[in-house]
Amino acid sequence: MIEIRGHARGGQGMVTAFEILAKIFAEIDDYQVQAFPAFGVERTGAPIQAFLRVSREKILNRSNIYFPNLVVVFDETLIAQVPVLNGLKKDGAILLNTNSKIEDIKLKTKNIYTIPATQISLDKGLGTKSLPIVNAAMIGAIIKILDIDINVVANIIADNVPTKPKENSESAILATKNILKSKNITDELKKYLNEDSLDENNLDKDIVFKSNNQILDFPSWNKPMSINKTGNWRVVTPKYEEKPPPCSTNCPAGTDVRLFVKQTSEGKFADAFSTIYKFNPFASTCGRVCPHFCQQSCNRIELDSGLNIGAIERFLGDKGITRKFSKSPISKTEKIAVIGSGPAGLTSALRLRQKGYEVIVFEALPYAGGMMRTGIPSFRLPLNILDKEIEAIEEQGVVIKLNNKVTIKELSNDYDIIISAVGSHKSNKMKIPGEEFATDGINFLREFKLENKNYDINIGDDIAIIGGGNTAVDIARTVLRLGAVPTIYYRRSKNEMPAIPHEVEEAINEGVNIKLLTTPISYNKNSNGKIVITLIDMILGEPDKSGRRRPIKIEDSEKIISVNKVFSAIGQTFDDYVFEGKKVKVEQGKIKFENNKPVFCCGDMAWGGTVTEAIGSGNFTTDEVVAFLKNQNYSSKDNPVNVVLPADINYNYYLPTPRHENPVVEMKSFINNFTEVVKGLTEKEVIEESKRCLHCGECYSCGNCYNYCPDAAIHIDELNRLRIDYDYCKGCGICFEECPCSAISLKMDEVVNESSVN
Amino acid sequence: MNQVLTDKKVTKINQKYPRHTQKVLKGNYAASESAVLCHSTVIPAYPITPQTSIIEELSNRVSVNKFDATFINMDSEHSVFAAAMGAAMTGERVFTATSGQGLFYAHEVLHGIAHFRLPIVICNVGRPSIPWNIWSDQSDSISQRDTGWIQYYGESSQEVLDDIIQAYKISEELNIPVMVVLDAFYQSHTSENIWVPDQELVDKFLPKKKLSGSEIDLNNPKSFGGLVPPDSYGNFNHGYWNDIIKVEDLTNKVGKEFEKHFGRGYGAVEEININKDTKQILVTLSTITSTARGVIKKHPEVGILKIRLFKPFPRKSILKVLSDSNVDKNKCKIITFDKNFLGDSEGALMQELRRALYGENYFIQGVYVGLGGRDVPPSTVENIIETCKTNNDEIIWIDS
pLDDT at A210: 67
pLDDT at B2: 37
Average pLDDT over residues A474-491: 94
Whether residue B58 is contained in a domain is answered as yes
| Cβ proximity of B183 and B157 under 8 Å | no
| Cβ proximity of A280 and A253 under 8 Å | yes
| Cβ proximity of B324 and B303 under 8 Å | no
Output the domain CATH number for residue A455. Answer: 3.50.50.60
Average pLDDT over residues A430-449: 91
Whether residue B248 is contained in a domain is answered as yes
Query: Who contacts A421 (Cβ-Cβ below 8 Å, separation ≥6)?
Result: A338, A339, A340, A342, A344, A345, A348, A370, A601, A602, A603, A605, A614, A617, A618
Whether residue B217 is contained in a domain is answered as no
In chain B, what percentage of residues exceed pLDDT 70? 96
Name the residue range of residue B47's domain. 15-207+232-260
Query: Which of B12, B186, B298 lies at the smallest CB-CB distance from A36?
Result: B186
d(CA A722, CA A701): 7
Give A669: exposed, middle or buried? Use CB within 10 Å, 0-12, 13-18, 19+. Answer: exposed
Say whether pLDDT at A340 is over 70: yes
CA nearest neighbour of B76 among B109, B107, B46, B44: B46
Is residue B316 domain-shared with residue B199, that is, in the same domain? no
Is residue B189 domain-shared with residue B294, that is, in the same domain? no
d(CA B165, CA B159): 10
Say whether pLDDT at B1 is over 60: no
In chain A, what percentage of residues exceed pLDDT 70? 95
Is residue A186 domain-shared with residue A301, that is, in the same domain? no
Residues in chain B: 400
pLDDT band at B96 (very low <50, low <70, confident <90, very high): very high
With H, G, I as helix, E, B as strand and everything else as coil, classify residue A513: strand
Say whether pLDDT at A203 is over 70: no
Whether residue B222 is contained in a domain is answered as no
Query: Which of B22, B193, B376 lies at the smallest CB-CB distance from A63?
Result: B376
Average pLDDT over chain A reads: 90
Is residue A319 domain-shared with residue A353, that is, in the same domain? no
pLDDT band at B3 (very low <50, low <70, confident <90, very high): very low
Average pLDDT over residues A358-380: 94
Whether residue A755 is contained in a domain is answered as no
Query: Which of B50, B135, B377 lies at the smallest CB-CB distance from A63?
Result: B377
Handedness of CA B285, B291, B295, B296 (dihedral sign): positive
Is residue A706 domain-shared with residue A685, that is, in the same domain? no
Whether residue A261 is contained in a domain is answered as yes
Average pLDDT over residues B53-73: 96
Query: Which of A29, A64, A194 lies at the smallest CB-CB distance from B377?
Result: A64
Is residue B254 domain-shared with residue B114, that is, in the same domain? yes
The amino acid sitting at B177 is P
- Give tens-digit pLDDT for B167-176: 999 999 999 9
pLDDT at A155: 92
- Using an 8 Å CB-CB cutoff, list chain B residues near A157: none
Instruction: For chain A, say whether B297 makes contact (Cβ under 8 Å).
Output: yes
Is residue A403 domain-shared with residue A457, that is, in the same domain? no
Is residue A132 domain-shared with residue A35, that is, in the same domain? yes
Output the domain CATH number for residue B63. Answer: 3.40.50.970
pLDDT at A40: 64
Cα separations in angstroms, A343 against A45, A129, A349, A369, B23: 56, 45, 10, 7, 76
Say whether pLDDT at A709 is over 70: yes
pLDDT at A201: 59
Q: What angle do CA A186, A188, A193 make, to 5 degrees?
A: 150
pLDDT at A229: 78
- Using an 8 Å CB-CB cutoff, list chain B residues near A147: 3-4
pLDDT band at A45 (very low <50, low <70, confident <90, very high): confident
Whether residue B216 is contained in a domain is answered as no
* Contact criterion met (CB < 8 Å) for B191 and A149: no
Q: Scanning every residue of chain A, which has its alpha carbon at the shortest distance from the alpha carbon of B297?
A: A60
* Contact criterion met (CB < 8 Å) for B192 and A38: no
Q: Scanning every residue of chain B, which has its alpha carbon at the shortest distance from the alpha carbon of A151?
A: B2
pLDDT at A655: 93
Whether residue B379 is contained in a domain is answered as yes
Say whether pLDDT at A362 is over 80: yes
Is residue B54 domain-shared with residue B198, that is, in the same domain? yes
Output the domain CATH number for residue A729. Answer: 3.30.70.20
d(CA A195, CA B351): 42
- Among A523, A545, A568, identify where a domain stops: A568
Say whether pLDDT at A758 is over 50: no
Instruction: For chain A, say whether B228 makes contact (Cβ under 8 Å).
Output: no
Instruction: For chain B, say whether A200 makes contact (Cβ under 8 Å).
Output: yes
Is residue A8 domain-shared with residue A124, that is, in the same domain? yes
Handedness of CA A405, A409, A415, A417 (dihedral sign): positive
- Using an 8 Å CB-CB cutoff, list chain B residues near A66: 377
Whether residue A129 is contained in a domain is answered as yes
Is residue B77 domain-shared with residue B171, that is, in the same domain? yes
Whether residue B306 is contained in a domain is answered as yes
d(CA B13, CA A751): 52
Average pLDDT over residues B330-342: 96
For residue A527, how many other CB atoms are within 10 A of its CB?
5
Is residue B243 domain-shared with residue B304, that is, in the same domain? no
Say whether pLDDT at A420 is over 90: yes
Is residue B319 domain-shared with residue B291, that is, in the same domain? yes
d(CA B272, CA B294): 11
Query: Who contacts B284 (Cβ-Cβ below 8 Å, separation ≥6)?
Result: B292, B304, B305, B306, B307, B337
Kindly report which listed range (A442-456, B100-114, B349-363) carries the lowest average pLDDT score: A442-456
d(CA A342, CA A368): 7
Is residue B199 domain-shared with residue B300, that is, in the same domain? no
pTM over 0.90: no
Whether residue A253 is contained in a domain is answered as yes
DSSP secondary structure letter of residue A302: G
d(CA B272, CA B269): 10
- Give tens-digit pLDDT for A671-685: 888 889 899 999 999
Is residue A543 domain-shared with residue A435, that is, in the same domain? yes
Say whether pLDDT at A301 is over 60: yes
- Give tens-digit pLDDT for B344-355: 999 999 999 999
Is residue B125 domain-shared with residue B147, that is, in the same domain? yes
Cα separations in angstroms, B198 against A670, B161, B192, B201, B262: 87, 12, 19, 5, 10
Is residue B243 domain-shared with residue B349, that is, in the same domain? no
How is A724-757 classified by DSSP, letter by letter? E-TTT-----HHHHH-TT--EEEESS------S-
Query: Which of A18, A32, A61 lies at the smallest CB-CB distance from B294?
Result: A61
* Contact criterion met (CB < 8 Å) for B2 and A200: no
CA nearest neighbour of B36 among B125, B178, B184, B168: B168
Whether residue A309 is contained in a domain is answered as yes
The most distant pair of C-alpha atoms in chain A lies apart, rounded to whole Å, by: 119
Distance from CA of A203 to the nearest CA of B (A): 12
pLDDT at B6: 36
d(CA A467, CA A488): 7
Say whether pLDDT at A214 is over 70: no
- Using an 8 Å CB-CB cutoff, list chain A residues near B288: 62
Q: What is the ipTM of this complex?
A: 0.93
Is residue B38 domain-shared with residue B144, that is, in the same domain? yes
Is residue A528 domain-shared with residue A392, that is, in the same domain? no
Backbone phi and psi for residue B308, each to the nearest 5 degrees, phi listed first: -95, -45
Is residue A540 domain-shared with residue A474, that is, in the same domain? yes
Say whether pLDDT at A311 is over 80: yes
With H, G, I as helix, E, B as strand and everything else as coil, classify residue A604: coil
pLDDT band at A636 (very low <50, low <70, confident <90, very high): confident
Is residue A468 domain-shared with residue A437, that is, in the same domain? yes
* Contact criterion met (CB < 8 Å) for A61 and B26: no
| Cβ proximity of B196 and B25 under 8 Å | yes
CA nearest neighbour of B367 among B321, B342, B398, B392: B398
pLDDT band at A42 (very low <50, low <70, confident <90, very high): low
Output the domain CATH number for residue A319. Answer: 1.10.1060.10
Query: Who contacts A566 (Cβ-Cβ below 8 Å, separation ≥6)?
Result: A437, A438, A439, A463, A464, A465, A466, A520, A523, A531, A533
pLDDT at B10: 43
d(CA B146, CA B153): 16
Whether residue B350 is contained in a domain is answered as yes
Query: Who contacts A348 (Cβ-Cβ below 8 Å, separation ≥6)?
Result: A338, A419, A421, A602, A618, A619, A621, A622, A625
Query: Who contacts A261 (Cβ-Cβ below 8 Å, separation ≥6)?
Result: A247, A272, A307, A309, A312, A690, A693
Say whether pLDDT at A208 is over 80: no
Name the residue range of residue A508's domain. 429-568
Is residue A419 domain-shared with residue A448, that is, in the same domain? no
DSSP secondary structure letter of residue A655: -
d(CA A694, CA A262): 10
With H, G, I as helix, E, B as strand and everything else as coil, classify residue B237: helix
Average pLDDT over residues A423-429: 90
The amino acid sitting at A1 is M
* Overall number of domains in chain A: 5
Whether residue A68 is contained in a domain is answered as yes
Is residue A310 domain-shared with residue A339, that is, in the same domain? no
Say whether pLDDT at B378 is over 90: yes
For residue A738, how many other CB atoms are within 10 A of its CB?
17
d(CA A301, CA A294): 11
Say whether pLDDT at A757 is over 80: no
- Give tens-digit pLDDT for B223-269: 888 899 999 999 999 999 999 999 999 999 999 999 999 999 999 99
CA nearest neighbour of B275 among B308, B315, B302, B296: B302
Query: Who contacts B324 (Cβ-Cβ below 8 Å, separation ≥6)?
Result: none
pLDDT band at A179 (very low <50, low <70, confident <90, very high): very high
pLDDT band at B11 (very low <50, low <70, confident <90, very high): very low
pLDDT at B9: 43
Output the domain CATH number for residue B294. Answer: 3.40.50.920
How is B346-359 classified by DSSP, letter by letter? S-HHHHHHHHHTTT
Is residue B126 domain-shared with residue B153, that is, in the same domain? yes
Say whether pLDDT at B4 is over 60: no
According to DSSP, the β-strands at A722-724 and A714-716 are: antiparallel
Average pLDDT over residues A333-360: 95
* Contact criterion met (CB < 8 Å) for A57 and B5: no
Whether residue A329 is contained in a domain is answered as no
d(CA A18, CA A34): 9
* Contact criterion met (CB < 8 Å) for A37 and B189: yes
* Overall number of domains in chain B: 2
